[in-house]
């Protein structure tokens, strides 16, 4: 039972603090510019993201980095406070995902590809998918429901590294030309200094930014622009079928 909503609230729910920048941030930046309220949710605070700092110290640092990254596009940051490599589809995690989504009341949700390089990503996609329904169904958990919230549009982003786990590039059905926002994506990514520095030390080059550009260029080439983000829309029963991205971003969006 899809309900038409005039709400313009976008939420991305992804596993780790820097996943958004690679796969969704350009589209979020375009939506923010169009007046959308934007929320970035990570399932974990990235507590395994350091070879030197312990989990509490690196998590504290990475929460701050994510807040700073969100601020670049005026987005709000939330964390489900699950733990790296332990993102599990269980009662506690589902309740956390629904509670955050219920508080935000999104009309548009982005999450990971259903097939991705690690299970934190795939399980977070399941949590986000469950939260799309739980955000407006009264008996799923406590807390008020934001008035006017119904089933949101749901899009799956590209997998990390642009590959499924058989080494193939998955099909995208919705492309967003983010060429004008590649600088914004990089600025957001640079906020995650702890990860960038680690990769710089490891690879000797700015591997972080290179990967971001490489993924965007791959999708961009498929539609004849410099940089794009690719998505697949969830069109199962009850979900809105029309492409809200096309409606909002017009000529920047290609559907196939
Ligand atoms: Zn990740």
Output the CA 8–ligand 1 centroid distance in Å: 26
Cα–Cα distance measured from residue 104 to residue 248, given in angstroms and rounded to the nearest whole number? 20
User: Which 3 state secondary structure label does DSSP give 241?
Assistant: coil
For residue 56, tell me if it sits in a domain.
yes
- Look up residue 210 and give its two tokens: 């290179």
C-alpha 15 – ligand 1 centre gap (Å): 5
Sole residue written with tokens 């969006």: 253
- Whether residue 58 is contained in a domain is answered as yes
Judge whether 77 lies within some domain: yes
CA of 46 to the centre of ligand 1 (A): 9
pLDDT at position 1, please? Answer: 40
Distance 139 CA to ligand 1 centre (A): 31
* Cα–Cα distance for residue pair 192/209, rounded to 1 Å: 11
Question: Ligand 1: distance of its center to the CA of 163 in Å?
Answer: 14
What's the CA gap between 30 and 242, in Å, rounded? 19
In the chain, DSSP finds a helix count (H) and a strand count (E) of: 9, 8
- Nearest 5°: phi and psi at 242? -70, 155
**pTM exceeding the 0.85 threshold for the entire prediction:** yes
The residues that bridge with 231 in the sheet, in sequence order, are 157, 174
In a domain, 2, yes or no: no
Q: Provide φ and ψ at 119, rounded to 5°.
A: -70, -25
Phi, psi dihedral angles at 10 (to 5 degrees): -105, 135
Q: How far is the CA of 215 from the centre of ligand 1 (A)?
A: 15
User: Are residues 81 and 44 in contact, defined by beta-carbon separation less than 8 angstroms?
Assistant: yes
Q: Is residue 206 part of a domain?
A: yes
Alpha-carbon distances of 150 from 7, 59, 79, 155, rounded to whole Å: 10, 33, 23, 16
Counting Cβ atoms within 10 Å, is residue 4 exposed (0-12), middle (13-18) or buried (19+)?
exposed
What's the CATH code of the domain at 156? 3.40.50.10320
Instruction: Give distance in angstroms: CA of 121 to centre of ligand 1.
Output: 6
Residue 4 lies in a domain: no
Q: What SS3 class is residue 255?
A: strand
Q: Map residue 75 onto helix, strand or coil.
A: coil
Distance, CA of 87 to CA of 81 (rounded, Å): 10
Q: For residue 36, what are the domain limits? A: 9-255
Spacing, Cα 30 to ligand 1 middle (Å)? 22
The answer to whether the CB of 200 falls within 8 A of the CB of 194 is no
pLDDT of residue 42: 98
Are the C-beta atoms of residues 40 and 12 closer than 8 Å to each other? yes
Query: Which helix H or strand E contains 192, and what residues bound it?
Result: none
Beta bridge partners of 77: 40
Q: CA-CA distance, 207 to 188, in Å (whole number)?
A: 15
pLDDT in single tens digits along all 256 residues of the chain: 444 458 999 999 999 999 999 999 999 999 999 999 999 999 999 999 888 899 999 999 999 999 999 999 999 999 999 999 999 999 999 999 999 999 999 999 999 999 999 999 999 999 999 999 998 988 888 788 888 899 999 999 999 999 988 999 999 999 999 999 999 999 999 999 998 887 777 777 677 888 899 999 999 999 999 999 999 999 999 999 999 999 999 999 999 9
Taking a 5 Å cut-off on Cβ, the residues next to ion ligand 1 are 15-16, 19
What is the CA(4)–ligand 1 centre distance, in A? 32
Q: How many angstroms does the Cα of residue 43 sit away from the middle of ligand 1?
A: 9
Taking the centre of ligand 1 as the mean of its atom positions, its distance from the CA of residue 5, in whole angstroms, is 30
Of 46, 70, 74, 71, which is closest to residue 60 (Cα–Cα)? 46
Q: How far, in Å, from the CA of 16 to the mean position of ligand 1?
A: 4
Is 1 among the domain residues? no
If one counts the domains in the chain, the total is: 1
Distance 127 CA to ligand 1 centre (A): 14
Q: Which residues contact 211 (CB under 8 A, 6 or more apart)?
A: 22, 161
């Amino acid at each position: 039972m899809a309900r038409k909503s005039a709400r313009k609230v976008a939420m991305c729910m992804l596993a780790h603090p820097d996943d958004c920048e690679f796969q969704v941030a350009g589209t979020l930046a375009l939506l923010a510019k169009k007046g959308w309220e934007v929320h970035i949710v990570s399932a974990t605070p990235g507590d395994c993201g350091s070879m030197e700092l312990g989990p509490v110290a690196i998590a504290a640092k990475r929460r701050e980095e994510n807040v700073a990254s969100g601020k670049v596009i005026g987005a709000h940051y939330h964390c489900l406070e699950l733990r790296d490599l332990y993102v599990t589809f269980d009662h506690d995690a589902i309740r956390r995902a629904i509670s955050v989504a219920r508080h935000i009341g999104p009309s548009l949700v982005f999450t990971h590809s259903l097939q991705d390089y690690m299970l934190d990503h795939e399980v977070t996609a399941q949590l986000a998918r469950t939260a799309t329904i739980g955000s407006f169904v009264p008996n799923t958990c406590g807390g008020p429901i934001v008035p006017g919230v119904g089933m949101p549009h749901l899009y799956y982003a590209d997998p990390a590294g642009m590959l499924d786990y058989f080494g193939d590039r998955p099909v995208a059905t919705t492309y967003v030309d983010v060429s004008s926002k590649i600088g914004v994506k990089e600025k957001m990514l640079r906020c995650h200094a702890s990860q960038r520095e680690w990769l710089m030390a490891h690879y000797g080059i700015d591997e972080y930014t290179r990967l971001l550009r490489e993924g965007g260029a791959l999708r961009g080439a498929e539609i004849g622009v410099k940089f794009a983000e690719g998505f697949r829309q969830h069109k199962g029963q009850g979900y809105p079928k029309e492409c809200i991205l096309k409606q909002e971003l017009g000529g920047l969006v290609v559907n196939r």
